[in-house]
Structure 1
Amino acid sequence: MQSSPAPIIYCVPIFRDNYVFLWHDPLNQTAAVIDPGDSQPVLEKLQHLNAELTHIFITHHHWDHIDGIPTLQARYPQVEIFGSAVDRGRIPGQTVFLEGGEILEFGGHSIDVLAVPGHTAGHLAYYLLPQANQPGELFCGDTLFGCGCGRLKEGSPAQLWDSLQRIRQLPDHTRVWCAHEYTLKNIEFALTVDPDNLILQDRYRSTFLVRQHQEATIPTGLGLEKQTNPFLRCEQLELQQAVQATSTLQTFTRLRGMRDQY
């Protein structure tokens, strides 16, 4: 039996630096969207693709990830809206309440739901599982960014660190779709604590050129994040020394505080 083609992934910019992600199943002409903070660009893309919106996946309840839901639900009243059970009452029109650990399906492909609290208490990530020669695709909202991580809005440093460790266990070839264009600023900060990292230096040069052309730095690769993102490397002695910490969690906590002030 021939497997279904992988969904085509589109990155839809909204606001100053947000990204909405749209999955298109060309076989069935259906679509799913991740974190529609604004409806109009999504509706335009759906119209261009002539696709029916069947799924909305929400990583967390912040306004810039959910404000497009009511308009989309009015246009597509049968759409299923997935989000955390922790966010019950904070996601408009939510129909499915997730805990983490569920396996969902879209277009014949499986999606692993990961509970990744820290940025918010009920933050989720959606991992489109790899198939054949296709890498896995991780949609992680505001938990992991290009060379950075989310601010601690509701959770503790220990929670966010544990969530990042769950993400770090995924294969290196996983593509990471972050919800904000923060990569260049994050790299600039990373160089202040890890200035001798040659891979990080190369990443700065290439990312600078990408942003000069107003292009997205997303998706990033998880393998590259493991080499350059200080928030995934807090057990490394040189980073601990750079922030004058004596443990992994203390290193993470100090890095997050320093980035908040950067």
Structure 2
Amino acid sequence: MALEIRRIPALTDNYIWLIHDAASGETVVVDPSEAEPALAAAEARGWTIGQVWNTHWHPDHTGGNAGIVAATGAIVTGPEAERARIATLQRGVGEGDTVQIGDHVAQVLETPGHTAGHVVFHFADDRLLFSGDTLFAMGCGRLFEGTAAQMFANMRRFAGMPDETVVYGAHEYTLSNGRFALTVEPDNTALIERMAEVERLRDAGEATLPTTIALERATSPFLRAESIKEFAERRAGKDAFR
């Protein structure tokens, strides 16, 4: 039975992801910036959150941990490398570890760059990727604690995943990312077509996530970078883009 996934808007442009397995009745919340929206969304569906998964330590991804734990007793899982910066962390994980909801198992992949210990959760069998602040629609995380070489390696890893892999990033940055992408590849037909759809969605107040690996491979300047040097130039360009 497929997992049910719900998008919960939070703060200015964050997305919290709620994962539910009907077969087991288990529910996981990924990167809860705030507790209240996640708890309300679960309660409205008759779900009880039993686990919290954090991709990294930033407060807009962990700010809701304590409130959710207080309300539900949920177990908090996140990067062991960032344990000192996530006060609520109970289970630390790293490369090669797994997390599970019902019978659905996700591999933990270490993806340093945005933060030194960032991880993502990849359900290979279900073709799902919860990418935190490493991979966005047509974008990637800023290099606050890591290097261009590290983030380029992450992009190569994602690019090797199956086309149909659905990507659940944590921010609604797509419009800005796409506008920058057009400065890199102004003649990319797939990108031009995608941006028309993105603009339509945003004008209607609708979300642009999740995305897919196939779509990112066709339109993301970061997934399409062919070398560390090219990636670094594009990341620096996006940092300065207005």
Q: Work out the CA distance in 1 between the residues paired with 2:198 and 2:146.
A: 30
Which residue pairs with 1:150 in the alignment?
141
Which residue pairs with 1:165 in the alignment?
156
TM-score (norm 2): 0.97
Q: Deviations over 1:204-245 (max 9, x none)?
A: 10110011111110011110100110101112xxxxxxxxxx
Which residue pairs with 1:33 in the alignment?
29
Q: In the alignment, is residue 93 of structure 1 matched against residue 72 of structure 2?
A: no
SS in 2 for 1:191: helix
SS in 2 for 1:217: coil
Which residue pairs with 1:185 in the alignment?
176
Q: Work out the CA distance in 1 between the residues paired with 2:224 and 2:43.
A: 43
1:258 to 222, 230, 237: 237
2:20 to 17, 24, 28: 24
Which residue pairs with 2:211 in the alignment?
220
Which residue pairs with 1:139 in the alignment?
130
CA deviation after TM superposition for structure 1 residue 52, in Å: 1.7
Q: Work out the CA distance in 2 between the residues paired with 1:216 and 1:179.
A: 12
SS in 1 for 2:187: coil
Q: Aligned AA for 1:176? A: V
Q: Aligned AA for 2:85? A: R
Structure with higher Rg: it is 1
SS in 2 for 1:113: strand
CA deviation after TM superposition for structure 1 residue 203, in Å: 0.5
Q: Work out the CA distance in 1 between the residues paired with 2:147 and 2:45.
A: 41
SS in 2 for 1:65: helix
Q: Work out the CA distance in 2 between the residues paired with 1:126 and 1:55.
A: 14
Q: Name the count of aligned residue pairs.
A: 241
Which residue pairs with 1:233 in the alignment?
224
Contact 2:26–2:101 (8 Å) recurs in 1: no
Contact 1:29–1:50 (8 Å) recurs in 2: no
Q: In the alignment, is residue 194 of structure 1 matched against residue 190 of structure 2?
A: no
CA deviation after TM superposition for structure 1 residue 130, in Å: 2.5
Which residue pairs with 2:117 in the alignment?
122
SS in 2 for 1:31: strand
Gapped runs of 5+ residues in structure 2? none
Q: Work out the CA distance in 1 between the residues paired with 2:113 and 2:88.
A: 24
TM-score (norm 1): 0.90
The two structures, once aligned, show a CA RMSD in angstroms of: 1.0
SS in 2 for 1:81: strand
